[in-house]
């Protein structure tokens, strides 16, 4: 709250002139005003001293009024000093901030699946994909082993029927092709069944 004026040039000149002309100036008021006007920085006039000066001017019938002297003066507003913060209040505010930040984090991340390993799916999807790839690899390996075994059996078994090597190879290729096509048909039907198609 303000309790003083920052005096301007008009006040300084008017008060100096009054103190020179008036010999009946109270000594304590004169000393206060001289001390105020003797400062290098902008002189600050307290309300109490201003009231004393106004009373002196009114009681002695001066034609100069205080408000005229203070025309170019301003009210002095002291800097506001913030009181120290209560440590208990600061600690409570920090707890509240942490709680609100945690609630905000939970709100933002409530639809995030922690099982996700990347943008392609979750761990369960990854396991299902691994099992699917494993099944395909086993099926292809089984297909190749069946065709090769059929070729080998047909080639070895045809030695009792055919004496020439070319005839044995042709008969083994035909047998392996028939078994390979049958395996392929069964494989396609199985894949369609896994995909849910009739």
pLDDT in tens, the chain (198 residues): 567 777 777 777 777 777 777 767 777 777 777 777 777 677 777 778 778 877 877 777 777 777 777 777 777 777 788 888 889 999 999 999 999 999 999 988 888 766 555 555 556 666 777 777 887 888 889 989 999 999 999 999 988 888 899 999 999 999 999 999 999 888 888 777 765 554
Give the Cα separation of 154 and 156 in Å (integer). 6
- Quick one: which of 150, 127, 146 has its CA closest to 138? 146
What is the b/e burial string over 177-188, where b = at least 16 CB atoms within 10 angstroms of the residue's CB?
eebbeebeeeee
pTM flag (> 0.85): no
Give the Cα separation of 184 and 181 in Å (integer). 5
- By residue count, the chain amounts to 198
Beta bridge partners of 4: 46, 76
- Relative orientation angle of helices 27-37 and 9-21, to the nearest 10 degrees: 140
């Amino acid at each position: 709250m303000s309790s003083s004026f920052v005096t301007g040039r008009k006040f300084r000149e008017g008060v100096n002139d009054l103190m020179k002309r008036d010999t009946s100036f109270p000594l304590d008021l004169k000393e206060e005003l001289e001390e105020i006007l003797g400062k290098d920085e902008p002189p600050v006039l307290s309300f109490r001293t201003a009231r004393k000066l106004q009373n002196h001017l009114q009681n002695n019938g001066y034609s100069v009024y205080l408000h005229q002297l203070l025309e170019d003066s301003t009210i002095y507003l002291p800097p506001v000093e913030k009181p120290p913060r209560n440590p208990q209040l600061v600690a409570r505010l920090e707890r509240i901030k942490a709680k609100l930040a945690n609630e905000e984090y939970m709100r933002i991340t409530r639809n995030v699946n922690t099982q996700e390993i990347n943008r392609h799916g979750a761990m369960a999807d990854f396991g299902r994909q691994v099992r699917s790839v494993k099944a395909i690899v086993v099926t292809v390996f089984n297909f190749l082993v069946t065709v090769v075994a059929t070729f080998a059996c047909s080639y070895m078994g045809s030695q009792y029927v055919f004496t020439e090597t070319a005839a044995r190879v042709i008969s083994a290729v035909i047998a392996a092709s028939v078994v390979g096509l049958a395996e392929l048909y069964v494989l396609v039907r199985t894949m369609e069944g896994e995909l849910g198609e009739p």
